[in-house]
Structure 1
Amino acid sequence: MKFKLAVLLAILLATVSPLAAQNSYELNTGWKCLPMAKANATGQTISQPTHNLADWQPAVVPGTVLTTQLENKEIPDPFYGMNNKRIPDIYETGRDYYTYWFVKDFQETAPSGDEQVWLHLRGVNYSCEVFLNGQKLNDKTHYGMFLRQTYNVTPHLAKNGANRLAVIVYPPDPVGKPNGGQAGDGTIAKNVSHQYVAGWDWIQPIRDRNTGIWDKVTIEKTKQVNLKNPHVITVVPGVRKPDGAQQPATIKVSAELENPTSKSVIGTLQYTLDGQTVSQKVSLPARSTQQISLKDLTLQNPKLWWPSGYGPQNLYQLKLQFLVKGKTVSDEETVQVGVREIQTEWNDRTQSKQVKVNGQKVFIKGGNWIISDAMLRFTDARYDAEIRYHRDMNLNLIRIWGGALVERPEFYQACDKYGLLVIQDFWMSGDANGRWIDPLKLEDQWTRRQYPDDHQLFIKSAADQVKMVRNYASLAMWCGGNEITPPKDILTALEDSILPSLDGTRWFIPYSNSDSMSYNSLGGNGDGPYTIQPISKFWAFKTYPFNSEVGSVGVGDYESLVRFIPKENLVAPQFLGADKKPSEKVDSVWEYHTYTGVGYEHHILPYGAPKDVKDFATKAQLVNYDQYRALMEGFSSHMWDWYTGTIIWKTQNPWTAMRGQMYDYYLDPNACLYGLRNGGEPLHVMYDPVDSMVMMVNNTFEMKRDMMLVINAYDMAGKKTPMGQVISEINPSMAKKYVPVNAAIKKLAQDKGMFLSLQLLDLNKQVISDNFYWLPDAKGEYSGLKEMPKATIQLEAQQTAKGKIEVTLTNPATNTVAFFNRLALVDAKTQQRLLPVFYSDNYISVVPGEKKTITMEYTPAADGSLPAVTIEGWNVAKQVISTKQ
């Protein structure tokens, strides 16, 4: 059916919520809860402040039933060991088991005059009834995980200021059977909700399907008029550069104004940006909502926002106000504005889209993101740390996978801060929504193709979520769904009505591996592969030209594994069978946490069969580093020729999984992060293992000149063999071949393998890019590493500022290479790693006679005590040193 504009306008005016309101506070403590079956009272009764709550338990809001049960020690940590199997699943218990009342007492005096008080619920999963002081606020049951709710509670507030809010929350319906399939039996997708909660190949089922008041609850106070859903568009014409004076940019601002009172209101809508004010007189009839567009502002010499690696992330604060009679502030919102323009164009050579920011084409180095926490325990600090890690990987884009959420404003604030572009999927997946025949699904492909059951709820929710996040500079593209388009009427609404009317500035991709994004001439699904690959394959095998999902392994190190695997299950996989067809014997807890070893043994065994789990984890880090460095180098080496971008599947896990992660659930990075960081440097020197060429890639907008490319080989004893030195230059946004080293490497590596050091120096001999490879012998074995002599490295740690430590590693000239050293910042007393810590580099190799300095940033202890530093390497014994002040 065709989506009519009149219906759209009704949706637009119905979806409301503050961005950063003038006078608001969050209701995030002091909640109580009780299962519906135990309440034995109506919402009208429960919401009376006099109703006795003596038998009620503390509740976590924002949170879910499961997070509340965990807080009250009713269930074990579902992310540890096999604990999740001990928690009743909603498919077996029935929905009533996880249907809960949530109650909050709060103080707010009924206002006098024309003041208004508003209740905002930013996310409830899945349906609910809302009561305040004995009155039901919603005429009809609210449905939809992603549809915000706003209620004018002014007439319902208690005169004495003692109020009670009561919300009964019902789980999704149906809840889906977790039968081991992607999204279980698929029926969870009949709801307008997230799909992974019924289980996927990277996560076990979330037992309550995340039922609860999962996002923020706020009280907002205004005068007569409520200012809501501001919209800021920035227009940056021409081709820009990050430095120097800028031609003007245009700022377009609009907002909705709601007058709930019985009288018309005359006033002024105005905003201030960079010291300039734009205003417009407005007359609002009684009980009406209007959208008002202000005159465009020409911003002279704007400070532009750029993706990470290309320029600074400048941000402005725009204050938008409505003044009654031009004098009294009725309401105001503050919007964070990054001045930039996103464009796309078709690359005829690659047969894929390429992304442009401020007129400059950007080679996309991205990561797929699921969700910060599978049980929806979101914090600003966690978002900031995770997005910072993505920036530190030298990525410039994150794709939000369609089986989860439209991400929260706090996520986008962090992306704005760190310069990560975002592709935001809507709530579809090829698995649940019928792209393939699947015997694990309850209903056939044709039926699933029409999920969800309520298309209008999906459309209404999409419109609401677009308005929630559309002002963020980092949001670059919308996507209809993961590996499948939404049903035709939903797709038409998104393409023809919602996005043009509510945004109109961003590229819309019908689905994540659409031919309109990346023409698929190779067959298959248009994304992948997902398993470990021979290093040469990343360089020599041409895959999809803008690959939305391609990945490899990601097992954490030993310290990561012990956090969630019981001691008795810390058993390394055993590699069995013939050399050409090995198989694995894997512990059951590892399997439950989605360990995948397909092909892993081919890459682990060349380092020697693992002696124990710690040895396995150490060798896995070598594989991790090599895989992700090669992935990004291989794609970058063919940019604008084969590829316009690549997006790794995946960069993080929202629970304690053992695959596809650059850091673990506890925010502890593994070698994947640093291999990717190295391979994704904006200006990078690298070795092509297929044709044995030393190459350089320049992912900046500037010509780079007067650089010295230095190539050295080292044997296992640390003896250096110079292999070339040349003054170099490279044009903007290109990859270039420089020096062939095939014959020399073949000779030096034949018996025991070798080390290859590539450095790019400026004219002051300062290192610009440093890349260190370990290469196998002629048989593909790391025979030299297996018998490598020990190295003693000198380590010093100095506090240089609060929350910042500088570590210097020195390898004496008489040593061999100090290979693959893992640094960690630890509690000086317990020796436990501090998390998160942001290292300027890690898994570091230091050649004889070399000194390297690493910075570590962390959150300081409240008592001012300093942490210690540990180091442990392939041939370096573990050391622990104190930090000097």
Structure 2
Amino acid sequence: MRHASSGLPTPAARPPRLLNALLAAVLLAASAAHAATWGPFNAEFPAAADGLVKKAPAGVTLTAQRVAIGGWFKPSEVARGTALLAGADGIGYLCSVDGTLAFCGAGAPVRSGVPLPAGAWTHVAASRDGRHVVLYANGREVARQEVQGGAAAAAQIAIAPRTGTDAAFAGRVAGLTLGDDAQAVARLAATPPNEGMIVFENGSPHWPLQTRQMAGQLAPQDAWTLPHSATPPSQPVAVPAYAGPALEPRGANEWTIRAWTLQSADQAPGSAQQIASGGYDASRWYKATVPGTVLTTLVDRGVYPSPAYGLDNLAIPESLSRQDWWYRTSFTLPRGHRPGRHLFVTFKGINYASEIWVNGRRAGTTRGAFVRGSVDLGPYLNPTGENVIAVKVSPPPHPGIAHEESVAAGVGENGGVQAQDGPTFIATEGWDWIPSVRDRNTGLWQDVVLRSTGDVRVGDAHVITALADDHHEADVGIEVPVTNLSNKTVRATVRATIRDRAGSMRAIVVSRTLDVAPGTHTVRFASNDFAALKVKQPRLWWPNGYGKPELHDLDVDVLQGAALSDHARTAFGIRSVTYELSLVDRTGHLRRVEADFTRAHALGVRITDARHEALRKVAGNQWATGLRAEAEGTAAIRELADAGSLAPHLVIKVNGVRIAARGGNWGMDDFMKRVDRARLEPYFRLHRDAHVNIIRNWVGQNTEETFFELADEYGLMVLNDFWASTQDYNIEPQDVDLFMANAVDVVRRFRNHPSIVAWFGRNEGVPQPALNEKLEALIYAEDGTRWYTGSSNRVNLQNSGPYDYQPPETYFTTHGKGFAVEVGTPSFPTREAFEAAVPASERWPLGDTAAYHDWHPSGNGRVEPFMKALERKYGAPASLADFERKAQLMNYESHRAIFEGMNAGLWRENSGRMLWMTQPAWPSTMWQILSHDYDTHAAYYGTKHASEPVHVQMNLPDHAVDVINNPTAPLDKARVAFEAWTVDGRLAGRGAATVSVPGVATSGPIDLGIAPLLAREGLLVVKLTLTDGAGRTLSDNVYWPSTSPERQRGLDTLAGVPVTVRASARTEGTARKVDVTLTNPSRVPVLNTKLTLLDAAGARVLPVYWSDNYVALMPGESRTVSAEFTGATGALKVAVRAWNGPEQAVAVDAAQP
């Protein structure tokens, strides 16, 4: 607060004197009634801490014309360089320069030369009156200096601020006071602080506990807010049920149970004992789809329409999630099962709880969606006749109340009370990318398998690979749990055989013969004992874009004499994963290290400490994991140079190579959990072809074998969540023991998958301590090779978001810095995909049905910024076709910018960026880069181009050119060139430069003169081309920059061009391909040329894998793109449309010989 009286008088030059006397004198004329004081503040700052900011009392401000600041400081170490102690911009700061007291922020530092010794309290103060700064130490004047006058006002004080470039104060501060009342400041100099009586606020607080939560929809929403459609619900359509044998062989001594029936418990007469007995009449039950959920069966049998179309989900009752269900099967014993052997039935996934009955007797239970349930059928079997298994399945106990998205109702909450039931599919209560799934994914959603074994049974083998730095050798360690099911010791041989899937490696066979006592024991194979496990010249698993994702199979056989007791197979990859992290050590310092958890496991030490108390806030409002003392000084960590702007963020290294992590989140592979390989594999192929290399198993909703197998095969790293969501928003899981039982099984089951590179305890927050600490201990004990962190964001990672539309240049300057796990923007699908999911009556204008399919009027993904930007750039859309045309241009630009913005700061300030989302759980209009039906829109190709291994790009907002070289091989003497065209077809300019880029690096900005051309023209179409020394094109990309959003409207003045199209078909093995040559016959550019492959009936061929799409063609340019597909027969056509080209369809020539 400023006063009418004059500022502080300048003290006359005289010998040092007591500060309190001086300040009392200079303010003698000031009325105590007008005094303004902030403080006192008491705080402590470990070296890694962030600073604190304290706001002034209401109505109080201070200015450089009249201010005094002082307090006690006890450094824990002497800071080198300039460290700010306390103050405010515009007024100045108490500071230290190389460990001596000074005043900064009023021109050149006012230096005292008085040391601030570590471990000792020193009272320091300064007064400023607009003309002079006077410094005091322990009550005596130690420096004064004339300074420039100023009238800046301060309404907050910064204590130990971190500037990011200079040193930082570490230690304690007591009694810090700032004000225009000198006496209030002075009084503190006389009495040193009594530390035992002071509670110090910590500038590096530990991670907080959850303090609030929401419960979702508490009551059914008002009827007027429900979505409405002029089109009635569709009629159900049944599909043929499985009609094969009950048991389907899946390998030696193993069978899948395929023939099941289903009925709701209230419609299944009789007791559980009767239902599970032979002779029970289940003829009126539904033939069940297994694996599959209850809803999948009811849709497949024609009871309900597909919930994916229009508003048909509203025609399916919520009661499906509020009742129990019976699954039933019967079979005779398989031929391969011999008397005297054990026969186990294993349920690989039941949601949520089950009672398992066999031949009229209760045989077991399961609880939790992700734990396997296994029962030895021996005591229950009928060896000569029919055997019945009946399973009573219960949905999650807290299904919540559905929120139905509409324009009036908005997006609603993300989840609700069902979150407390984790481990389950908590998203099925409804999220902002998925509606409420009516059965909450209840059912036998994974395979049910019979397995015949002898007395010694194999458990989940564990394979650990350690790779030499030069990649010439790998140590393979194997641990095999074996269980003796008998009551006597058994002599057995455990044999492990390793083969590579490429077939180029001679099989490695190792074995041990031992006496196995009753119970479970671990058999270990190590390279110290078996030289063959030192694999020479191993074929390595690499992430997509860095090499082939080579896989190996481990077959474990247990023999009793010559007889096979049991067999198991697991896949693994030979690879190393290490992590660059900034960790807080026991002294409070932030240390940049490379953490090798595999080596730590071998040494018997833990590296990171993920407890709440060990997670500390650090400079820049970031958070960092703790470094355990036991790892310091060991080979498990390697000290790195300061990471600068990249700290404290994660860098993933695979096989010693930094991986630029580009990819996206999978909220759920399919909202009805139809997760067979045939359905899921096209999604993985599309991700691989888009050049992404990392995906996230969000909240563990995709935890099944097919997901990880395909991630392995397609080279997609996986960040794997457990089943808890957002802190201080979603309810925490209530049954920790249940959660851990599921988690233990999941880790043991999937730990060999090379795709998994990290475990996250919770989405956007740390689990409650009772759960978090058990999860961390579990990963150390049962995995030991990967990083566990409690949170999917903030801790060594960037915060989440944004999720709505942002100007493309902000992805270079502001958003997604460091390692960002969730960055989203609207992503409207192709017109064809939208029309396939939405009835004609509801397509335009976009209304309730679009909102139901996630075109959000509110919430994180609110579309208002997108629509405003679209109208500002291209004008208000007049129809669905016009809207989709404009939306695709924005999709391409924004998604490309997200990853090019990461590229521009790669390794300097960025190491990973992941879209929210890449995978659609259902026909959604929001976020993902492809459609639920496998169609691909412009967002996909913008992502694909920006993520290509070698890439040339135009940075924003400066329009410099950058070359990104992701592979390890250097790029030598490449040529980067541009051509810039006006919308009327005039070549505005061109330029070129020669560039060399090391491997896994970027060129940095190259000024080719595009910016002045753009300033002159206002709007350009710019093509960048990167070629190697032989003239081969390595990368080309087209941009349409303008000097303002409104200038983008000039793109509508591009002359309409009917692109010349030639298409021919050919066959390669089992795949068919169509090559399409596009030619621009005009003298103006053509943008966003969209190709769609159609069958003889005019329907889209899906999935189809285009080498490129939404193609830009410069004047006179021809380009050939190809499409690969299977299944479609007969005549084909290619439909073509462009930003400035009419729609047309061209017949595909017959296959060439």
TM-score (ref. length: structure 1)? 0.88
Structure 1 position 538 matched with structure 2 position 808: no
Residue from 1129, 1132, 1146 that aligns with 1:867:
1132
Deviates more, 1:598-607 or 1:180-189: 180-189
Matched, 1:271 2:496: yes
* Partner Cα separation in structure 2 for residue 737 and residue 23 of structure 1: 62
Q: Once the 2 structures are TM-superposed, how far is the Cα of residue 494 of structure 1 from its aligned partner?
A: 1.3
Q: Which residue of 2 aligns with 1:342?
A: 577
Are residue 382 (structure 1) and residue 679 (structure 2) matched? yes
State which drifts further: 873-882 or 389-398: 873-882
Question: Is the Cα–Cα contact under 8 Å of residues 795 and 881 in structure 1 kept in the other structure?
Answer: no
8 A contact 2:554–2:572 mirrored in 1: yes
SS of the equivalent of 2:883 reads: helix
- Report the counterpart of residue 582 of structure 1 in structure 2: none
Contact 2:816 2:823 survives alignment (8 Å): no
SS at match of 1:464: helix
- Pair 1:126 & 2:367 matched: no
Contact 1:406-1:424 at 8 Å conserved across structures: no
Aligned position for 1:435: 728
How far does the alpha carbon of each residue in 1:362-388 deviate from its partner, in whole angstroms, 9 at most, with x for none?
121121111111111111022221112
Specify the code of the residue in structure 2 equivalent to 1:43: A
Deviation per residue, 1:270-299 (Å, 9 max, x gap): 11224221111122224x222221233110
Pair 1:189-2:420 in alignment: yes
Contact 1:126/1:212 (<8 A) preserved = yes
| 1: CA distance, partners of 2:818 / 2:321 | 46
Other-structure match for 1:172:
396
Cα distance, 1:217 vs structure 2: 0.7
Mapping for residues 454-853 of structure 1, pairs under 5 Å:
454-496=735-777, 498-515=778-795, 517-518=796-797, 526-541=799-814, 543-573=816-846, 587-596=847-856, 597-605=863-871, 606-735=873-1002, 736-747=1004-1015, 749-750=1017-1018, 753-776=1019-1042, 778=1044, 780-802=1046-1068, 803-812=1071-1080, 814-827=1082-1095, 829-853=1096-1120
- 1:406 CA drift (Å): 5.2
The residue aligned with 1:67 is: 296
Whether the 8 Å contact between 2:817 and 2:902 is mirrored in structure 1 is: no
Residue matched to 1:102: 327
SS at structure 2 position matched to 1:478: strand
Q: Find the aligned partners of 1:228 and 1:429 in 2 and give their Cα distance.
A: 31
**Quick check: 1:396 aligned with 2:693?**
yes
Are 1:344 and 1:354, in contact at CA under 8 Å, matched by a contact in 2?
yes
Alignment counterpart, residue 449 of structure 2, candidates 204, 214, 218: 218
Matches of 2:1081 and 2:424 in 1, distance apart?
A: 60
Aligned to 1:523: none
Q: Deviations over 1:222-268 (max 9, x none)?
A: 23322121111111132x5xxxxx42100011111122234432111
CA distance in 2, matches of 1:190, 1:211: 13
Q: Following the alignment from structure 2 to structure 1, what is the Cα–Cα distance between the partners of residues 668 and 321?
A: 26
Cα distance change of structure 1 residues 826 and 542 upon mapping to structure 2, 3 Å threshold: closer
What is the alpha-carbon distance in structure 1 between the residues aligned to residue 722 and residue 1136 of structure 2?
44
Query: CA 1:183 to 1:315, structure 2 compared with 1: closer, same or farther past 3 Å?
Result: same
2: CA distance, partners of 1:336 / 1:121: 20
User: Is the CA contact 2:1061–2:1146 (under 8 Å) kept in the aligned structure 1?
Assistant: no
> Given that residues 396 and 421 in structure 2 are in contact (C-alpha distance below 8 angstroms), is that contact kept between their aligned partners in structure 1?
no
Q: 2:477 aligns with which of 245, 252, 271?
A: 252
Does the C-alpha gap of structure 1 residues 34 and 106 become closer, same or farther in structure 2, counting only changes over 3 Å? Answer: same
2: CA distance, partners of 1:129 / 1:394: 45
1:708 is displaced (CA, Å) by: 1.5
Instruction: Say whether residues 1:324 and 2:539 are aligned partners.
Output: no
SS at match of 1:307: coil
Please tell me whether the aligned partners of residues 173 and 191 of structure 1 are also in contact (alpha carbons under 8 angstroms).
no
Question: Shift of the alpha carbon at 1:769?
Answer: 0.2
1:274-423 correspondence to structure 2 within 5 Å: 274-286=506-518, 288-296=519-527, 297-325=533-561, 327-346=562-581, 348-349=643-644, 350-351=646-647, 352-402=649-699, 404-405=700-701, 407-423=703-719
Distance 1:778 1:212, change over 3 A: closer
* Cα RMSD after superposing both structures: 2.1
User: Greater relative contact order (Cα 8 A, min sep 6): structure 1 or 2?
Assistant: 1
SS at match of 2:753: coil
- The aligned residue for residue 230 of structure 1 is 461
2:361 to 135, 147, 167: 135
Larger Rg over CA atoms: 2
Amino acid at match of 2:573: G
Tell me the TM-score normalised to structure 2 length.
Answer: 0.68
SS at match of 1:367: strand
Which residue identity lines up with residue 106 of structure 1 in the other structure?
A: F
CA contact (8 A) 1:415 1:421 kept: yes
Give the letter aligned to residue 257 of structure 2.
Answer: L
Which of 246, 254, 261 is the aligned partner of 1:24?
A: 254
| AA partner of residue 384 (structure 1) | E
Cα gap change, 1:761 to 1:399, in 2 (>3 Å): same
Judge conservation of contact 1:632–1:676 (CA < 8 Å) in 2.
Answer: yes
1:116 corresponds to 2:313: no
Amino acid at match of 1:54: S
Cα distance in 2, alignment partners of residues 646 and 465 from structure 1? 26
| Secondary structure class of the residue paired with 1:870 | strand
- The gaps in structure 2 that reach 5 residues or longer are 1-248, 404-410, 499-505, 528-532, 582-591, 593-642, 857-862
Structure 2: how far apart are the matches of 1:796 and 1:781? 34
Q: Give how far 1:169 is off.
A: 0.6
Q: Give the secondary-structure state (helix, strand or coil) at the position aligned to 2:1109.
A: coil
Q: Residue 74 of structure 1: CA displacement?
A: 1.7
SS at match of 1:765: coil
Instruction: Tell me, yes or no, if the aligned pair for 2:294 and 2:443 is still in contact at 8 Å.
Output: yes
Q: In structure 2, how many angstroms separate the alpha carbons of the residues matched to 1:666 and 1:542?
A: 31
Q: Report the residue type matching 1:615 in the other structure.
A: D
In 1: Cα distance, 2:1093 partner to 2:965 partner = 33
Q: Which residue identity lines up with residue 620 of structure 1 in the other structure?
A: A
**8 Å contact kept, 2:1060–2:1081:** no
* Paired residues of 1:174 and 1:191 also in contact (CA < 8 A): no
Structure 1 SS opposite 2:837? coil
Q: Check the 8 A contact 2:722/2:743 in 1, yes or no.
A: yes
Matched residue of 1:219: which SS? strand
Q: Contact (CA 8 Å) 2:1065, 2:1148: kept in 1 or not?
A: no
Cα distance per residue 1:16-59 (max 9 Å; x no partner): xxx9864312123x311111112121222112221112222212
Cα deviation 1:775-816 (Å, max 9, x = unaligned): 236563323321221223222223332423242324255443
Unpaired segments ≥5 residues, structure 1: 1-18, 241-245, 442-447, 521-525, 574-586
Aligned partner of residue 782 in structure 1, secondary structure? helix
Aligned AA (2:539): K
Paired amino acid for 2:765: I
Q: Distance between the aligned counterparts of 2:421 and 2:713, measured in 1? A: 36
Contact 1:271 1:319 in 2 (8 A): yes
Q: Which residue of 2 aligns with 1:14?
A: none
The one-letter code matched in structure 2 to 1:314 is E
Question: 1:85 is matched by which residue type in structure 2?
Answer: L
